[in-house]
Amino acid sequence: MAGTVPMTSVQTSAQASPATTEAAWVKWLLIAAAGLALLWLIVLPLLIVITEALKKGWDVYVAALADPDALSALKLTLIVALVTVPLNTVFGIAAAWAITKFKFRGKGALITLIDLPFAVSPVIGGLIFVLVFGANGWFGPWLSDHDIKIIYAVPGIILATLFVTFPFVARELIPLMEDQGTQEEEAAVTLGARGWHVFTRVTLPNIKWGLLYGMILCNARAMGEFGAVSVVSGHIRGQTNTLPLHVEILYNEYQFSASFAVASLLLLLALVTLLIKSWLSWKNAH
């Protein structure tokens, strides 16, 4: 979606003359409006998170992060992201590749299916797994006989996160690959390249920035998902609580500073993700 927009706009603004002829005050008014909106909707809330986190001092802040339950939540969140992002990257590339480079029946249905997790509320995303793998679900009795735990354990949390983050990579790649068409691949095939070779030498280099952007969005959502994970987590402290769940628990237990401290940790993870992205873009540009 958005991934392709910044790149094209950078290219055009570098080459073309100003696209508008409006008066200067219109320009400044628009910039001010956008700036104010950003300030109110993004900058201020972020500042509040940080000031609230440090309200009771550095000691409380460090203690909140060093708490074993917080550390276990951090570990679980990282594990979930580390598993879901690569898996959804592979799924996403495969789906986008199939949809854009081949002709087959039911393509429209497949695209709709990929979009489904965007359209469905995350709570439903969690509930479907409870209905399938829960003790009273389809596979419940079999799983319990074989002593396999999915719901209220790490596999369930990963499944729910996979579900809600599924569309990010595919949705990012499909418009991009559609734009690029199949000519380059066809040329490569004419020159004698085979499947995997075509993919790594031609397709992948063409889509790498869109792919990266999709992975970053996917990662951000995987680490931040609340609803679906809450349904399948079981809320066992130090075991199946992810960072977002831990933030809510602390808030409900009157530990406001600790809750914001953990929230600031999530924020930090998001910032690191964005920094990696900026660094990669910068490296590409130079």
Partner 1 sequence: MVHVWGRKQIVRRGLSTGLALLLTAALAACGNGSGSGSTDKEAGGTAEGKSTEAQAGSSAKPVELLNVSYDPTRELYENYNKAFAAYWEKEKGQQVTIKQSHGGSGAQSRSVIDGLEADVVTLALGYDIDAIQKKGLINEGWESKFEHNSTPYSSTIVFLVKKGNPKNIKDWGDLIKGDVEVITPNPKTSGGARWNYLAAWGYALKQNNNDEAKAQEFVKELFKHVPVLDTGARGATTTFVERGIGDVLLAWENEAMLSVKELGPDKFDIVYPSVSILAEPPVAVVDKVVDKRGTREVAEAYLKYLYSEEGQTIAAENFYRPTLESVKEKYKDKFQDISLFTLQDVFGTWDETQQKHFSDGGIFDQIYTPGS
Residue with smaller CB distance to partner 1, 83 or 193? 83
| CA geometry: angle 124, 73, 143, nearest 5 deg | 55
Please, what is the minimum distance in Å from the beta carbon of residue 104 to partner 1? 26
d(CA 274, CA 286): 18
| Residues of the shown chain interacting with partner 1 in the complex, contacts defined by CB under 8 A | 79, 82-83, 85-87, 89-90, 130, 133-137, 140, 144, 149, 151-152, 154-155, 158, 200-201, 204-205, 208, 234-239, 249, 252-254, 284
Please, what is the minimum distance in Å from the beta carbon of residue 238 to partner 1? 7
The pair of structure tokens assigned to 42 is: 């993004």
Burial class (CB in 10 A: 0-12, 13-18, 19+), 111: middle
Residue with smaller CB distance to partner 1, 107 or 235? 235
Residue with smaller CB distance to partner 1, 104 or 254? 254
Residue with smaller CB distance to partner 1, 42 or 236? 236
Please, what is the minimum distance in Å from the beta carbon of residue 227 to partner 1? 14
The pair of structure tokens assigned to 134 is: 């829960």
Please, what is the minimum distance in Å from the beta carbon of residue 193 to partner 1? 14
d(CA 76, CA 81): 9
Please, what is the minimum distance in Å from the beta carbon of residue 106 to partner 1? 29
Helix (H) or strand (E) holding 96: helix 68-101
Residue with smaller CB distance to partner 1, 27 or 201? 201
- Asked if residue 92 lies in contact with residue 256, where contact means CB atoms within 8 angstroms, the answer is no
From residue 74, give the alpha-carbon distance in Å to each of 202, 223, 238, 265.
Answer: 38, 9, 10, 9
Please, what is the minimum distance in Å from the beta carbon of residue 195 to partner 1? 15
Please, what is the minimum distance in Å from the beta carbon of residue 105 to partner 1? 31
Residue type, 16: A
DSSP assigned state of 153 = S
Residue with smaller CB distance to partner 1, 115 or 248? 248
d(CA 77, CA 161): 10
Residue with smaller CB distance to partner 1, 105 or 283? 283
- Asked if residue 117 lies in contact with residue 166, where contact means CB atoms within 8 angstroms, the answer is yes
Residue type, 136: N
The pair of structure tokens assigned to 252 is: 């409900």
